[in-house]
Chain A
Amino acid sequence: MNADQTALASPSVPVRLASAPGVTTTSGMPTMEPFDVERIRADFPILQLQIDGKPLVYLDTAASSQMPQPVIDRLVRYQTKEHANIHRAVHYLSETATAEYESARRKLQRFINAPGEREVIFTSGTTDAINLVMHGYGRKFIKAGDEIILTTLEHHSNIVPWQMLAEETGAKIRVVPINDAGELLIDEYEKLFNARTRFVGVIHVSNALGSINPVKQMIAFAHAHSVPVLVDGAQAVPHMQVDVQDLDCDFYAFSGHKLCGPTGIGVLYGKAALLEKMQPFKGGGDMILSVSFEKTTYNTIPHKFEAGTPPIAAAIGLGAAVDYLSAIGMDTIATHESDLLNYATDQLNLVPGVRIIGTAKNKASVISFTVDGVHPHDVGTLLNQEGVALRTGHHCAQPVMQRFKVPATARASFAFYNSMAEVDALIAGIRTVQKVFA
C-alpha cells in the first residue's frame, strides 16, 4: 500500500464508495442503479405537454434545453424570499442575494474544475463570453498582420466577433478545414501556425454536426507555439464532464440555457493571469474600485468583467441546474446520450432516402440529416404535426452547410431526458413525411 492509499483509508478523510468504471461520483453520491429515464422525465414539467394532441417529443436541446422542477423552484424561492441587488447594500436581502450569487459562481467553478472562483465570469451567454474575449484580449493584443485560427465547424458566434476584430485591426483569419465526416483536419490545423499566429478559437462540440473536436491536443499544440486558445463549450458542457484544468484551455465559454438553466446567463472561464492583463469589456457599476472624472480604477477579476447589475436570479438558477446535473452525474448523462445517439443513428440509417450529415467517429448526441426530395423546413413543419420538435435551417453554422453543399439540414439533438421511444417517434415521423412527399 502506498502513501496515498494509506491517506485514503485514514478515518480523518471521508472515504468514497468505490465506483464502477463509467459511474460517476461527482456529487459524492453513488449512482449505481440503472438509468431511469422516466424518473428523470418526471422532473421536467414541459415534457408532459401535448402538441396538437400528440405528446411532445423534444429533440431540440442543442438549441435550448428544458428546465427541471428543482431549478424552477430555485428561481421561485429566489424571487419570493431572497431578491435584492448584490455587492451593494448592507441589508439582509442584499447580503443573502450576494451570498447566493457568489455561491453559484463556486458551483460553476467546481462543475468545470476551474482552479479559482475569480476565474469564473458570469456573462449573458456564450456569445457574450466570446465577445468579452474579443474586446478584452483581442483588441488589446492582436495587431495588423497577426493571425487568428478558427475552424470550419465554428458557430457564427465564434466567427463574427473575430471578423469584426480583423476588420478593425487588419488581423487575418485562417480556417481549419474538415473532412467528409465532419472531423477537423488536425494536420492542416498544425500547418496553419506561423510566427504571426496570435490566437486560436475552436468549438468543443459542433452544434451543427455533433463532432467532438480533439481540443486538448489542439490546445497543447497551440501552447507549444505560445498561442492562447478559446474553446466554445456551449454544446460540450451539457453533455460531458469538462475539466478546464485537464484541457489547459485559456478561455472556455458556455451558456446556461443549454445546461437546464435559465436564458440570459452564461460563463466565461479564463486563466487569471490572462484575465488580469485584459481590458474591461463593458464599463459601469460594480466593475470599478473608484471613479472620478480624472481617473477610474477597475475592480479585480471577476468583477472587472461584470459591469452593471448581473442576471442574479439566472446565475442562482444556473447554480441549481449544475447541482441537478451533478446529482445525476455527467458520466451517467453522457452514457445515456451515447446510447440514444447510437440507436438513432442505426434507425435513421435504415430509412431509405435519409442522409446523415456529419459522421465523425467521436460524436455528441446531435444528428443533422436530410431527407431526399424534401426541404428541411418541410420536414420540420410536418414533424411538428407529429409532436416532434427539432431544428431546421443552417444552425448558425453556414460554413458547415457550404462545406456539405446543403442549404440547410434537419437536426435532432438528444438530451438525458429523451427516451428510446422518442427516437422511434422521430423515425415514424420521418416515414410520414416521406409518405406525404411520395
Chain B
Amino acid sequence: MADYKALYQEVILDHNKKPRNYGTLAYASHHAVGHNPLCGDHISVALNFDRECVDCIAFQGESCAICKASASMMTAAIKGKSRADAEILIQEFLAMATGKLDLTSPNHIGRLAVFAGVCDLPTRVKCAILPWHTLHAAFNSVDTASTEAEADPMRVPISNA
C-alpha cells in the first residue's frame, strides 16, 4: 500500500489552518461555485484580471483539509499568472492528482507536489481537484462546477469540457 500518510504533512495542515486568500472580493470579474455532492464540500472562487494576469483571487467555502489546502495553495500559485499559464497549471495539477503526471519531467507543479499522494486515495482525489475545477469554471464564467456527472473531470478531461 502506498504511503498516503505523507498527504497530511505540515504544509497541507498549515494551509488548512491558515488558508491564504480566504474570503470574498468586493468586485470579481470571474466567479464560480464548485461542489462535491458526494461529501457536501463546496467552495467559491472569485478573481479579477489586470490586463492579461490574475490580479487578485479569493476563495471561500466549507470543505475537508485536503480541499481547503488545495484551494489555498492554488490561489497563491495562480496570483500573477496569465490565464494561459494558469490553464497549464490546472491541467498539470489534475494530471498529478489522478496519477498521470510524470513529476520527473519538466512541469510547473512546484510546492503543489505535496498533493501527489492523493492519487493513491481515489475517494479523496475529488477533494483535491474541486478548487481547480472551480477555477477553470470561473475562467469560463460557468456559474457552478461539480465533481459529478458530465462535469466530472475524472470522466471528462477538462480540456474537452
Interface residues of A (CB under 8 A from B): 52, 374-378, 381-382, 385, 392-394, 398, 401, 407-408, 436-437
Shortest distance between the CB of B66 and any CB in chain A (Å) = 7
For residue A381, which residues in chain B have a CB less than 8 angstroms away from its CB? Answer: 4, 7-8, 121, 124
- Which of B57-65, B88-96, B146-154 lies on the face that meets chain A? B57-65
Shortest distance between the CB of B40 and any CB in chain A (Å) = 4
**A52→B39 contact, CB < 8 A:** no
Shortest distance between the CB of B45 and any CB in chain A (Å) = 19
Looking at the complex, which one of A374, A377, A436 makes contact with B39 (CB distance below 8 Å)?
A377
Q: Which of B91-109 contact A (CB under 8 A)?
A: none
**A382→B8 contact, CB < 8 A:** yes
**B8→A436 contact, CB < 8 A:** yes
**B13→A436 contact, CB < 8 A:** yes
B87 at the interface (CB under 8 A from A): no
Looking at the complex, which one of A375, A385, A394 makes contact with B65 (CB distance below 8 Å)?
A375
Shortest distance between the CB of B62 and any CB in chain A (Å) = 6
Q: How many A-B pairs fall under 8 Å by CB? A: 42
**B65→A52 contact, CB < 8 A:** no
Size of the chain B interface, CB-CB below 8 angstroms: 19
Instruction: Tell me the bound Cα distance from A375 to B8 in angstroms.
Output: 13
**A374→B65 contact, CB < 8 A:** yes
For residue B39, which residues in chain A have a CB less than 8 angstroms away from its CB? Answer: 377, 392-394, 407-408
B155 at the interface (CB under 8 A from A): no
B5 at the interface (CB under 8 A from A): yes
Q: What are 15 pairs between A and B in contact, CB < 8 Å?
A: A375-B64, A375-B65, A376-B64, A377-B39, A377-B64, A378-B64, A381-B7, A381-B124, A385-B5, A393-B39, A393-B40, A407-B40, A407-B41, A408-B39, A436-B8
Looking at the complex, which one of A374, A401, A437 makes contact with B40 (CB distance below 8 Å)?
A401
When C-beta atoms are compared, the residue in chain B nearest to A394 turns out to be B40
For residue B41, which residues in chain A have a CB less than 8 angstroms away from its CB? Answer: 407
> Contact mask B47-86 → A, CB, 8 Å, 1/0?
0000000000000001111100000000000000000000
Instruction: Tell me the bound Cα distance from A436 to B12 in angstroms.
Output: 11
For residue B26, which residues in chain A have a CB less than 8 angstroms away from its CB? Answer: none
For residue A375, which residues in chain B have a CB less than 8 angstroms away from its CB? Answer: 63-65
A437 with B13, Cβ < 8 A, contacts A52-B1, A374-B65, A378-B66 known: yes
> Contact mask B1-45 → A, CB, 8 Å, 1/0?
100110110000100100000000000000000000011110000
